Amino acid sequence: MPQVSKKTLNVGGRLVDLSIPKVMGILNLTPDSFYHGSRIASVDQLIDIAGSMWEQGASFIDIGGYSTRPGAIDISVSEELDRLMPVVEPLNKFLPEIIISVDTFRSEVAKLVVAKGAHIVNDVSGGTLDPHMLREVLALKVPYVLMHMRGTPQTMQQLTGYGNVVEDVIRDLLPTIRRLEADGLADIIVDPGFGFAKTQAQNFELLRHLDAFQALNLPILVGVSRKAMVWRTLGCAPQDALNGTTALHMLAIERGASILRVHDVRPAVEVIKLWSETHTLQ
């Protein structure tokens, strides 16, 4: 079976064991998230859902205030902060064990939300949309999810020209990884960016060869939950794509994924438990 390259993650002094994959639950504070089931309307609702995710086995909660679906509307920094800032302290108060990831590509947002109590920065742009992001993450000294994307959420689907998508994505990520490691960032998580500047065929090619990313010697995060690569392939809607998502989650961890970013925590935890049992018996 694929070996997890880096088996621990230091989150504010807490050591997270990644030898068994972990689950990151998605909480979108945006009114236009592509999957309506992940949209949150109030702080109370967010605490309730986050609590349920924790009880079901999520190790991380990923909060986002900017929709990055293809063609999403751009919003201001202040509007993004207005969505994120009120929820971090309540999450830490009522769920102190949960690790909070902030889904943003803006350094100012990352700085302020981490100051409020978030633990991880999850940057869909991999540092390409804000020239200050990498410097800010180094200053914050928090784990950083480095995702691959080209262009912006508004233009990315016109930027899918690759020679070999697996090799090109790794080649695109390497300079940033080397820079961050050289400057002392100990905890980098790599996300190949399923659905971001990728065609359907390219998404499946990345998943087919996910184990190639093990060469980076970093944990791999996979985010395929209810995405178009699932529901378009199956000819259904996002709300009917859980079964397909679950199938791809098993393939992802078989190929070395360390973290599954998901809308539905319990099914993902069950996949990991069954995978773990089959590998324990070997």
Interaxial angle between packed helices 200-208 and 165-182, expressed in degrees from 0 to 180 and rounded to the nearest 10:
70
Element (H, E) at 103: strand 99-103
Torsion of CA 23, 29, 34, 38, to 10 degrees: 50
Catalytic residues: 227, 261
**Residue 101 corresponds to which tokens in the numbers above?**
């990831």
**Residue 189 corresponds to which tokens in the numbers above?**
């998580």
CA-closest candidate to residue 103, choices 160, 44, 38: 38
Residue 197: what are its φ and ψ, rounded to 5°?
Answer: 60, 40
**Residue 99 corresponds to which tokens in the numbers above?**
């690790």
Do the beta carbons of residue 108 and residue 80 sit within 8 Å?
no
